[in-house]
Amino acid sequence: MSTSSDEVVREQPKLGITERLSHERLLEEQRRTLDTPRRKPGLAARALFTAMDLLYGRTRTLSKFKVLEVIARVPYQAWENVAYVAVTHRYSKPAFARRIFDRVHESRAQQDNEQWHLLILEELVEEEGGREPFIRYRVIPQIIAFAYYQLSWVLYALKPAWSYGLNVDFEDHAEHEYARYVKEHPELEMRPYEGMFAEEYGRFETMGDLLRQISYDERVHKLESLQRMREPRFV
């Protein structure tokens, strides 16, 4: 089933939680992701993905996904910050300031969704019982996220389409990585998800469906950024 970026953005609830899909739809959307060629990333995104492979290996793991989610939130935080600065300078024009503030709400909803992903991944990693080196999995991700925030902020302030394009590259990468991880691990179909965040994020029959849903969320964010790339600032 084909879904345009306009349709995906319009369908999203205001609280930033993307559409919850049935098991059948999740399988369908996973196949769609796997059948869709990856987007060719720009220079900054390629540098980020290469650094992550060097630091955390090319193998897809839950620990590596957790690092990905630490970074995933920061573009939305940067956009929210820029929008707040713009409201400060444009509040004398209430109609325009209201449109800017709508972007604040949108960015907050998107980063909240990514925050759920991070909390869920942290929970899953803890359940696995693996030991993660503190510097590698706590300090370095924060350093990468800080640098990525600054880049996203500057690009957005200069030309929003540049920052949105970087995020499209990132979300496309995340969407495909999650979908491939589920394909590589059929044992996930035997594990239900009833974690501590199920009340807020949703309950899923299997871990496979949980990660398919996260993959779908990443696609939604990708399509949202693609749509914003084509629009003037704060329309």
Identify the pLDDT of residue 235: 59
Q: What is the pLDDT of residues 154-173, one digit of tens each?
A: 999 899 999 999 999 999 99
Cα gap 227→136, rounded to integer Å: 35
| Burial annotation 84-111 (CB, 10 A radius, 16+ → b, else e) | eebbeebeeeeeebebbbebbebbbbbb
The whole-number pLDDT of residue 18 equals 75
pLDDT score at 12: 41
CATH number of 5-229: 1.20.1260.140
Predicted confidence at residue 233, as pLDDT, reads 67
Residue 32: predicted pLDDT? 98
- Structure confidence at residue 131 (pLDDT): 86
Q: How far is CA 130 from CA 20, 61, 72, 123, 142, in A?
A: 30, 11, 23, 12, 20
Tens of pLDDT, residues 12-44: 443 345 788 999 999 999 999 999 999 999 999
- Dump the DSSP string for 60-119: --HHHHHHHHHHHTHHHHHHHHHHHHHHHHHTTSHHHHHHHHHHHHHHHHHHHHHHHHHH
What is the mean pLDDT of each successive set of 10 residues along the chain, which is 235 residues long? Answer: 44 54 96 98 98 97 97 94 74 70 80 95 92 95 98 93 97 98 97 89 94 97 93 66
Q: What string of H, E and C letters represents the secondary structure of 189-211?
A: HHCCECCCCHHHHCCECCHHHHH
Q: Which two tokens stand for residue 112?
A: 């909240």
